[in-house]
Chain A
Amino acid sequence: MGTLALLGFGPGGWGAALLGAAATTLLLALAGFALGLVLGGLAAAGRIAGPAPLRLLATGYTTLLRGVPDLLVIYLLYFGGSAALGGIAGWFGHAGYVGVPPFWVGAVALGLISGAYQAEVFRGAYAAVDRGQIEAARAVGMHRGLILRRVTVPLVARTALPGLGNVWQILLKDSALVSVTGLVELLRQAQVGAGSTRQPFPFYLTAGALYLAITTVSNLAFARAEARARRGLP
């Protein structure tokens, strides 16, 4: 069987499986990014405006998660998660090993990691907000919630967009690490194909090309979003 047929969509071809796995990679990264937005937003808010213990907690979170290898975080959640779930199940009288769903382990791990980076992006963007805008909002009588919703958040979002694009790129590439949990995302699917056909090179090359395609397209999407967010600005 030729290499092209091997990676194609005909009978015995791995094309459909690889594309499906690429979709899983995308979903995994999206879930991680969404969770990271929430965690990052909370951590940034904690660091900017929280009371001292909260500020310390948020600082500890961003420092730890940015200083420790992502693979280690995934191992912690994968092995630690099943141990913790097993313990909880034990209270309810269930004995034996409890597996955690690898997709959600991966999504939570990526969310924790990207949240730490997103917190830094939001913090930087908040520091860049023009104080005059907030003063003006206060001067026209807006209350705190309204200022946050109508002035601060939109301004922060615009400034944070390039940084968020970078985090998304890192996250997409980090999602390949989730393959160690056995979740069949793009890299894992390539591994499976490489193992069963004994032709690792074309499979890993194809996986690389698909990752490159995803990162390139999302780069373009972020560039367009940035241009749109900056419209009307000098």
Chain B
Amino acid sequence: MIDIAFLAESLRALAAGLPLTLGLTGGAVALGLVLAGLAAAGRLSGIAVLDGLARLYVFVFRGTPLLVQLFLIYYGLGQFRPDLQALGLWWFFREPYWCALLALTLNTGAYTAEIIRGGVLAVPHGAVLAGRACGMSRGLLLRRIVLPLAARQALPAYGNEVISVVKATSLASTITLLDLTGIAQKLIAQSFRALEVFVCAGAFYLAINLAIIGLVRLAETILAPDLRRPRPV
């Protein structure tokens, strides 16, 4: 028997976790994109030191579980509390929210760096040559040719990465944060009705992810005007 009242109650309780889930996602995606841009630039720079550093960063953060990274930052660094206090950084590492944001940013930055690098490497050499032949400067070439083509190429993979960040924010619940999953876990522990709560929380996540898929499709049509179907006259 489906208990509508319980489902409605769960949905209302879970909605309180939505801002935290969306905030962590937005923050990590935005900051991670900056970090990824830097790391990809390092990988493509041809400077051995920068290339090595970026390679190490990507290797370590893609090769270990996010939960380990999160615990290392939140619990592990807590061990050095006096040092962090001396450095004036304790306010940051004391808060589970900042630790979760930092871990998510570092993690998605590593994956996104590879996506950006793949996109840039897929830019046809001829297009770059043509731009150079027209006398474009390096900056103009990057802005008008390399980045638009790379963005178009990288977009599907990047959409998947954003969706995995949404799902990854659920790990914030393991360091006491009450995001969607944190509240869901609390509700399950209180009511022992795992399936109903799962359905409600799952519906929230699916709705977020469907919205992201829609946005990515929209961005694809904006970025690839030549692939758009012509408007009927």
A187 at interface, CB cutoff 8 A: yes
Instruction: Classify the secondary structure of B's interface with A.
Output: helix
A134 at interface, CB cutoff 8 A: no
On chain A, the residues within 8 Å of B76 by CB distance are 194, 200-201, 203-205
Interface 1/0 per residue, A160-191 and B, CB below 8 Å: 00000000000011111101100000010011
Q: Can you give 16 contacting A-B residue pairs, CB < 8 Å?
A: A67-B206, A69-B168, A71-B170, A71-B171, A75-B198, A76-B194, A80-B198, A83-B194, A200-B75, A208-B68, A208-B69, A208-B72, A211-B63, A211-B64, A212-B60, A212-B64
A180 touches B205 (CB 8 A): no
Instruction: Classify the secondary structure of A's interface with B.
Output: helix
On chain B, the residues within 8 Å of A179 by CB distance are 67
A177 touches B67 (CB 8 A): yes
On chain A, the residues within 8 Å of B168 by CB distance are 69
On chain A, the residues within 8 Å of B209 by CB distance are 67
A207 touches B68 (CB 8 A): yes
B108 at interface, CB cutoff 8 A: no
Within the assembled complex, what's the spacing in Å between the Cα atoms of A68 and B67?
A: 17
A72 touches B184 (CB 8 A): yes
CB distance from A85 to the nearest CB of B (A): 12
Chain A interface size, as a band, is 35 or more
A79 touches which one: B69, B75, B188, B205 (CB < 8 A)? B188
A133 at interface, CB cutoff 8 A: no
Interface segment, one of B77-85, B122-130, B142-150, B220-228: B77-85
A67 touches which one: B59, B163, B171, B185 (CB < 8 A)? B163
Which among A67, A199, A212 has the greatest number of chain B C-beta atoms within 10 A?
A: A67
On chain A, the residues within 8 Å of B66 by CB distance are 173
A128 at interface, CB cutoff 8 A: no
On chain A, the residues within 8 Å of B75 by CB distance are 194, 200, 204
Which among A69, A71, A175, A211 has the greatest number of chain B C-beta atoms within 10 A?
A: A69
A70 touches B174 (CB 8 A): no
B167 touches A80 (CB 8 A): no
B6 at interface, CB cutoff 8 A: no
Within the assembled complex, what's the spacing in Å between the Cα atoms of A70 and B63?
A: 18
A212 touches B63 (CB 8 A): yes
CB distance from B73 to the nearest CB of A (A): 9
On chain B, the residues within 8 Å of A200 by CB distance are 71, 75-76, 78-79
On chain A, the residues within 8 Å of B185 by CB distance are 75
B194 touches A80 (CB 8 A): yes
A24 at interface, CB cutoff 8 A: no
With A75-B188, A76-B194, A79-B189 already in contact, the answer to whether A176 and B68 are too (CB < 8 A) is: yes
Interface 1/0 per residue, A206-234 and B, CB below 8 Å: 01100110011000000000000000000
Instruction: Give the nearest-CB partner of A180 in chain B.
Output: B174
B60 touches A79 (CB 8 A): no
Within the assembled complex, what's the spacing in Å between the Cα atoms of A176 and B68?
A: 8
On chain A, the residues within 8 Å of B65 by CB distance are 172-177, 187, 211
B181 touches A72 (CB 8 A): yes
B192 at interface, CB cutoff 8 A: yes
B202 at interface, CB cutoff 8 A: yes
A64 at interface, CB cutoff 8 A: yes
Which among B78, B79, B189 has the greatest number of chain A C-beta atoms within 10 A?
A: B79
Within the assembled complex, what's the spacing in Å between the Cα atoms of A64 and B195?
A: 14
Interface 1/0 per residue, B189-206 and A, CB below 8 Å: 100111100100110011
On chain B, the residues within 8 Å of A180 by CB distance are 174
Within the assembled complex, what's the spacing in Å between the Cα atoms of A112 and B64?
A: 21
Known: A67-B202, A70-B170, A187-B65. 6 other contacts (CB 8 A): A71-B171, A72-B198, A194-B75, A200-B79, A208-B69, A212-B59
Instruction: Give the nearest-CB partner of B201 in chain A.
Output: A72
On chain A, the residues within 8 Å of B206 by CB distance are 63-64, 67-68
With A69-B170, A173-B65 already in contact, the answer to whether A204 and B60 are too (CB < 8 A) is: no
A211 touches which one: B68, B189, B198 (CB < 8 A)? B68
On chain A, the residues within 8 Å of B69 by CB distance are 208
5 cross-chain pairs, A with B, having the tightest CB-CB distances, nearest first: A80-B194, A69-B170, A176-B65, A201-B76, A173-B65
